[in-house]
Amino acid sequence: MCTGAFILAEAGLLKGKRITTHWSSVDELSRRYPDLTIEPDALFVCDKRLRTAAGVTAGLDLRVRAGGRRSRARSRHAGGKPAVMYFRRPGGQMQFNRKGHAQPTGRSALQEVRLVAAHPELDHSVGNLAARAGLSPRHFARLFQTEVGVTPAAWVEGARVAAARRLIETSGDAPKQIAAKCGFANADVLRRAFSKHVGMTSAEYRRIAGASTET
């Protein structure tokens, strides 16, 4: 499970195999062992007799899956109930991955875009960001790409999705309200952006991680 894949890879047991590991270790594992086929969004991967999982709870998902293959559906459901688990958890690791949500660091001009995270509902076009940084839009976009590694528009969208995730996790706001608070034109635009960044719709994410509306 998880970073145990490093041990197996070092022992030469993963060559030519399809595997997964925790999302935070994917880049390092890929760098050290470029001959591996890593599925970064998978909760677990079964490649013949080899089974790898993204973490402890993903290992439980794997156990439920393995048990289900050896039993009938009714027995599989009975086996999952004591652990209060999904029989097939929706989504992949992307729903837990917070990479790309950190604030840009480096030059003072780019630190100005911290405003995006604090107020995602505002107009954060390249023109507005550049004006705030005191740069031309072209120079700002080029500088941003160099320092952060993505375009300003891509980073702003990711920051808005991160804000939407926090609202889903902590509030009972409707999709329309969340979209407005996070700078999305409407709930449909929010849904599409959320699916792209998280790997599931905002509605699916609410069912898993959303705040309780009970009083």
H-assigned helices in the chain: 4-10, 26-32, 56-69, 73-80, 108-111, 114-118, 126-133, 137-148, 152-170, 175-181, 187-198, 202-209
**Residue 52 confidence (pLDDT):** 83
pLDDT of residue 165 exceeding 70, the answer is yes
**Residue 164 confidence (pLDDT):** 93
Max avg pLDDT among 82-96, 167-181, 200-214: 167-181
The DSSP code for 18 is E
**Residue 70 confidence (pLDDT):** 47
Non-local CB neighbours of 104 within 8 Å, separated by 6+ positions? 110, 111, 113, 114, 144, 147, 148, 155
pLDDT of residue 3 exceeding 60, the answer is yes
Walk me through the domains of the chain, giving residue ranges and CATH numbers.
4-95 (3.40.50.880), 108-209 (1.10.10.60)
- Mean pLDDT throughout 14-42? 82
Other Cβ atoms within 10 Å of 169 Cβ, number: 13
pLDDT of residue 121 exceeding 80, the answer is yes
**Residue 168 confidence (pLDDT):** 92
**Residue 82 confidence (pLDDT):** 42
pLDDT of residue 181 exceeding 90, the answer is yes
pLDDT of residue 59 exceeding 50, the answer is yes
Per-residue pLDDT band for 175 (boundaries 50, 70, 90) equals very high
Contact 131, 115 (CB under 8 A): no
- Mean pLDDT throughout 168-194? 94
**More confident: 97 or 23:** 23
Contact 183, 120 (CB under 8 A): yes
Other Cβ atoms within 10 Å of 87 Cβ, number: 14
Max avg pLDDT among 48-52, 126-130, 184-188, 209-213: 184-188
For 131-160, how does the pLDDT look when each residue is reduced to its tens digit (9 = 90+)? Answer: 888 888 998 888 888 777 778 898 899 889
Q: What interhelical angle do 202-209 and 152-170 show, nearest 10?
A: 40
Mean pLDDT, rounded, of the chain: 75
